[in-house]
Amino acid sequence: MIATLDDLDVEGTTVGVRVDVNSPIDDDDTLADDARLRAHVDTLAELLERGGRVAVLAHQGRPGGDEFVSLESHAERLSELLGQPVDYVDATFTDAAREAVRDLEDGDCVVLENTRFYSEEYMEFEPERAARTHLVEGLEPVLDVYVNDAFAAAHRSQPSLVGLPTVLPSYAGRVMESELDVLGSIEETGEPRVYVLGGAKVSDSIDVAWSVLEKGLADHVLTAGVVGNVFLIADGVDLGDASSDFIYDQGYWDEIDRAADLLDAYGDRIALPRDVAVDRDGGRHELGVNALPPGDGESAMDIGGSTLEYYRRILADAETVILNGPAGVFEDDRFETGTRRLYDAATDVPTSIVGGGDTASALRQLGVEGFSHVSTGGGAALRMLTAEPLPAVTALENAPERPAADD
């Protein structure tokens, strides 16, 4: 049983709050999109209003990547969103960080530095070992309790996610609570249940497809994006050199065999694109699968109109739809149609659940609204849909005894 903020006596308590504000970053190393910050405002505002002393922990980017930057601009934006001063300290668990946490008064908030600036935080550990890392040993003495609101990172077994809840009384924040509530009760949603798997995380999507087909959770799996292209090749369609090279370069060549095995086992419940859109003479050109391969250098960038009609007919009968990943290269105006129209059709299904960072940003960019639930997580949501435990959630379940909250 995971405790929530309802179980926490917040006033005067120093709370380490792990959030996931991993966001797109501009060329000047500042925040380019605040959607993930907005998601955590309710949790943080509630803790502050209830008199908590809040130390925010988060990662940004991956070591060596362009988006591996400090959390200073995140703190500035958080201050605007919360409508109160938010301090930032350029350290995570050193003396400077601990002093900033000890100095907090009731209702104060400080953002600590990007946890991944410390190498241990980019490694995966068993919780007991994670509890002996520098980050956890440094912060544990200055924190009273730990709150995990970082659902989008809950599939990572990293110190700030599994080590802190091993040593501190721990609670799920409001984002974590609502994600677990919705994604943890997929089996109770109405049927027919349709999974739409698009985007570029091919191996994760094939794992999900296996799992939901095997468990009888999915009546139909509709494929799109790079996932759809891999299934087409697995089905014997010649998508041409450009798409094949892309799939090879992304390291997904072995996935073609897995997709073929899946088609052998459950082909009657897996829908493949009937046409694709390619870039021809600088414009969008649609080709039925019978007309493939495309011309030299042409790559399948989106699903076409007849696929959309086919998928819309399946969605029209669905009671539940779960979608992950764009249907095409939505960042390019010529290839956003598939994503916009497919996701738009999904909003008419009584229960519609969407996951994925790029998917959420595609929906915002394309102005598609009206889903029952838009998850903050990509990989975490996919993992949950396969009914695999999330290490950070397991760590919350196993957290030490907590004091009872005052009513």
Ligand X SMILES: O=C(OP(=O)(O)O)[C@H](O)COP(=O)(O)O
> Which range touches ligand X (CB under 6 A), out of 97-105, 185-193, 266-274, 376-384?
376-384
- 375 touching ligand ADP, by CB under 6 A: no
Q: What's the residue count for the chain?
A: 407
Q: Which does 351 bind (CB under 5 to 8 A by kind): ligand ADP, ligand X, none?
A: none
| CA separation for the pair 170, 163 (Å, rounded) | 11
- 326 touching ligand ADP, by CB under 6 A: yes
How big is the site for ligand X, counted in residues (CB under 6 A)?
Answer: 10
In the region spanning residues 29 to 68, those forming contacts with ligand ADP, defined by CB under 6 A, are none
Cα(first)–Cα(last) distance of the chain, in Å? 20
CB closer to ligand X, 124 vs 214: 124
The residues near 62 (Cβ < 8 Å, ≥ 6 apart) are 68, 116, 122
- 378 touching ligand X, by CB under 6 A: yes
Q: Which does 152 bind (CB under 5 to 8 A by kind): ligand ADP, ligand X, none?
A: ligand X
Shortest Å distance, C-beta 304 to ligand X: 27
Q: How many CA atoms lie within 13 A of 194 on its CB side?
A: 26
Instruction: Please check whether residue 319 is in contact with residue 190, taking contact to mean a CB–CB distance below 8 angstroms.
Output: yes
Token readout for 202 is: 């091919």
What is the number of other CB atoms lying within 10 angstroms of the CB of residue 316? 10
Shortest Å distance, C-beta 277 to ligand ADP: 9
- 294 touching ligand ADP, by CB under 6 A: no
Instruction: Please check whether residue 163 is in contact with residue 125, taking contact to mean a CB–CB distance below 8 angstroms.
Output: yes
- 377 touching ligand X, by CB under 6 A: yes
| CA separation for the pair 62, 150 (Å, rounded) | 16
Shortest Å distance, C-beta 91 to ligand ADP: 31
Closest-CB residue for ligand ADP? 356
Reduced to 3 states (helix: H, G, I; strand: E, B; else coil), residue 283 is: strand
- 357 touching ligand X, by CB under 6 A: yes
Q: Is 62 annotated as a binding residue?
A: yes
> Which range touches ligand ADP (CB under 6 A), out of 63-71, 198-206, 253-261, 283-291?
198-206
Q: Is 134 annotated as a binding residue?
A: no
What is the number of other CB atoms lying within 10 angstroms of the CB of residue 179? 27
